[in-house]
Amino acid sequence: MARVVVIGAGLGGLPAAYELRHALPREHQITLISNQLKFTFVPSLPWVGLGLKSLSHIQLDLNKTVPQHGIEFIHAAVTAIDPKLRQLTINDPGANGAVTRVLDYDYAVIATGPELALDAIPGLGPEGGYTQSVCNPHHAVLAGKAWEEFLADPGPIVVGAAPGASCFGPAYEFAFLLHHVLQQKGLRSRSATSKRSQVPITFITSEPYAGHLGISGMNNSRWLMRKFMADREIELMENTAISHFEPDAVHLADGRVIPSKYTMVLPPFRGPRFLREAPGLTDAKGFIPVLPTYRHPDFESIYAVGVITQLKAVEQTPIPTGAPKVGLMSEEMALAVAHNIALELGVTSGNHYQPTLQAICFADFGNTGALFLADPLLPDQSGNRRRALTYHGIWVSWIKAIFETYFMTKMRLGWTIPWFERWGFRAIGLPLVEPVTPRAERIQVKV
């Protein structure tokens, strides 16, 4: 019997645990470890931050849901990992205080998601700083409370992404949703030519241009984002670095100061401390290098899924930006990793699999929305992709709301990507995984 431990129960970890349970006979134990008691559908957090949806609507109780599907659930924080000994040190919270214990494993799938690097810029973050974020449930709730206080005494707003950020979509979504809400409350003009808006909005991004999204070459996204900004009277500041924050202002690296009574800026990401402290496990930022199979190049027992994986962008930008890892990519990684572990355990035969890293992102902008499809996520060395499509319309907002319900249903039922969803992706030319050639199995991923 093998014990496969999945660390993290987010958009990558919970699907990975489910797919492992489907791939492996019951004689093999699947253990899911999370320092959170609830699964959260993170793409909906911008709605929570603006009071458009309750947090409970997008959460599941892991302690009740996970064991129903033949998976052991441990609510604990992992404080150390030893890939050589194949051991985890975990801190179990309990009624009589936390208990530290060591857990042995045969395989570990690391799907922790990121740690927010709030110390990257002075004043960044809602706790000990002056900015909001919608990167985790706690911060989204704090953003919602700050938003209610702001509405009682409105003023200028800044939304954006800090240098080193890698997930830009939520910033655009938040800015346009915010405009839509303020417009409904009579605090923003409905006319593109009017200058009577009581609440000026500035969008500051470290991207070389709006719509770059950390991946470049997304068809008409540059034109579309600029048009949306202009139509909504949002001042756009591209290729701009923020130096620090104060309670009522955002300071830029070039010395300019932008007044702000409500600031939502996405921070850079890094790997959790326990991963960074494990010798040879991660890069300098705490992200895990992987082979095409999504196994660690040096530790055969370690696989990785989701945001914690290392993806090296092919393009250098004037201000550092990272490459995003969207939810579909995490599911693709989960499919590949579960198959590859089953192959290693002799449960199945054939080739190893690798995720195709095709990305689809839905964003709700209030009275419209945008869909981005990158196939694959990052272009090749010549800057080409098979497909790079951007669509917009109110139907995208509807699809995002429907998809949220569908995804939450999948997580309740213990599904990752059921057969009909896989068939649908194949029908539109988007296979989620593909065989790895023997020659490529030892080549580190540098997409």
Give the CATH fold of the 118-266 domain: FAD/NAD(P)-binding domain (3.50.50)
Instruction: Record the tokens describing residue 91, joined without a space.
Output: 């801190």
Catalytic residues, by residue number, are 167, 361
The strand ranges marked E within 29-112 are 29-34, 38-40, 59-61, 72-75, 77-82, 87-92, 99-104, 107-110
CB 118 within 8 A of CB 162: no
Pairing state of beta strands 302-304 and 107-110? Answer: parallel
pLDDT averaged over the chain?
Answer: 93
Helix (H/G/I), strand (E/B), else coil: 293: coil
| Domain spans of the chain, in order of start | 3-45+53-114+271-442, 118-266
Backbone angles phi, psi at 416, to 5 degrees: -100, -80
**By CB neighbour count within 10 A (0-12 exposed, 13-18 middle, 19+ buried), where does 346 fall?**
exposed
Give the CATH fold of the 3-45+53-114+271-442 domain: FAD/NAD(P)-binding domain (3.50.50)
pLDDT in tens, 23-47: 999 999 999 999 999 999 999 999 9
How many Å apart are CA 128 and CA 374, to the nearest integer?
37
pLDDT tier for residue 441 given thresholds of 50, 70 and 90: low
Q: What mean pLDDT comes out for the span 351-367? A: 94
Helix (H/G/I), strand (E/B), else coil: 276: helix
**Quick check: do 3-45+53-114+271-442 and 118-266 share a fold?**
yes
* pLDDT of res. 192: 47
pLDDT in tens, 182-213: 999 999 976 544 554 689 999 999 999 999 99
CB 33 within 8 A of CB 76: yes
Determine which helix (DSSP H) or strand (DSSP E) holds 178, and give its type and residue range: helix 169-184
pTM above 0.85, yes or no: yes
* pLDDT of res. 315: 74
Q: What residue has token string 């895990």?
A: 288
Name residues whose C-beta falls within 8 Å of residue 46's C-beta, 6 or more positions apart in sequence: 134, 140, 170, 173, 174, 177, 364
